[in-house]
Structure 1
């Protein structure tokens, strides 16, 4: 029994069919949340210690670390029922898509810091940190996440048949018999 199967009985019955139908997206979102925590933890660690003068370099390094975590979790959990590519080909495509996503993620931070001048001494340290977080960890991350989900499903983990695709998830007190298209 998977973690999702164990948690499904605790979800309100009206939401179960939606979660089952979009289980790949839910898993992708969970992996994204984990990568978000890794990204921000590494970013602030670097930004507040060794890379205080280079916030975009710190963010790029943090995104790279989070991308590696994301690859492992997406390969082994979110998109495990997809496949058909050799592992090295899949990894190359994953990191190519992720490389483009890193650029997409950094654009709002670059605009915030260097076009809008939302950095010390032009604004207070508090305003700078709020602007950095909003631009780099909210706006940039959301744009990059949408691009990654599309790119991963389209090129990295294309639809491949797995017996798990048709297997219904067991639900206490009833059965879930939906097929993921």
Structure 2
């Protein structure tokens, strides 16, 4: 708790209210940043070693590992005030949303690699790696993050009030 107090003490009062109002989004983006670093390190580590020449496979594996980490962090930290579903149902929805996000992430990389042919021997190794970083890691991640933020709040971790309202049958007024 000491770290939080130090950070809060350094934030200007006007900004503090903005941070508090958007705490859930900031936590989600922090989890996303952790997953982003995990995916990037694993992607290039796999691509440059055991999966040389297979960028989509390397990115899919890196994304799967980061997705498991993301689920744990989102469930236990970012969306702690939300939920209400059974654990298995929530996890299934999370991984379904993550799978759609993974497809969204892969699309720019697939276009870069196989449509624009930004692969060795058509381009230099440096150009290939820059294209992979920009297409998969930057563009794909931004598109998938926007989708995941919407879908996590809407389907996976809905607000508890929404869960109660959906669960209760509509009652007619008694006279």
One fold, TM greater than 0.5?
A: yes
Q: How does 1:73-88 map to 2 (within 5 A)?
A: 73-88=73-88
Structure-2 separation of matches of 1:23 and 1:7: 14
- The structure with the largest helix share of the pair is 2
Displacement of 1:2 after TM fit? 8.0
Which residue number in structure 2 is paired with residue 32 of structure 1?
A: 32
Q: Does 1:114 align with 2:136?
A: no
Which residue number in structure 2 is paired with residue 142 of structure 1?
A: 142
Structure-1 separation of matches of 2:108 and 2:61: 16
Q: RMSD of the alignment, in Å?
A: 1.3
Q: Which string of whole-angstrom CA distances, capped at 9 and with x for unpartnered residues, describes residues 146-168 of structure 1? A: 1111000000000016xxxxxxx
Structure 1 stretches lacking a partner, 5+ long: 162-181
Q: Greater CA deviation, 9-18 or 111-120?
A: 9-18
TM-score, with length taken from structure 1: 0.86
Q: Which string of whole-angstrom CA distances, capped at 9 and with x for unpartnered residues, describes residues 121-150 of structure 1? A: 111111110000000000000000011110
Displacement of 1:111 after TM fit? 0.2
Structure-2 separation of matches of 1:160 and 1:61: 33
TM-score, with length taken from structure 2: 0.88
Which residue number in structure 1 is paired with residue 68 of structure 2?
A: 68
Distance 1:99 1:3, change over 3 A: farther
SS in 2 for 1:16: helix
Structure-2 separation of matches of 1:160 and 1:2: 30
SS in 1 for 2:92: helix
SS in 2 for 1:15: helix
Which residue number in structure 2 is paired with residue 168 of structure 1?
A: none
Which residue number in structure 1 is paired with residue 16 of structure 2?
A: 16
Question: Which structure carries more relative contact order (alpha carbon 8 Å, separation 6+)?
Answer: 1
- How many residues in Structure 1 have an aligned counterpart in Structure 2? 161
Distance 1:141 1:58, change over 3 A: same
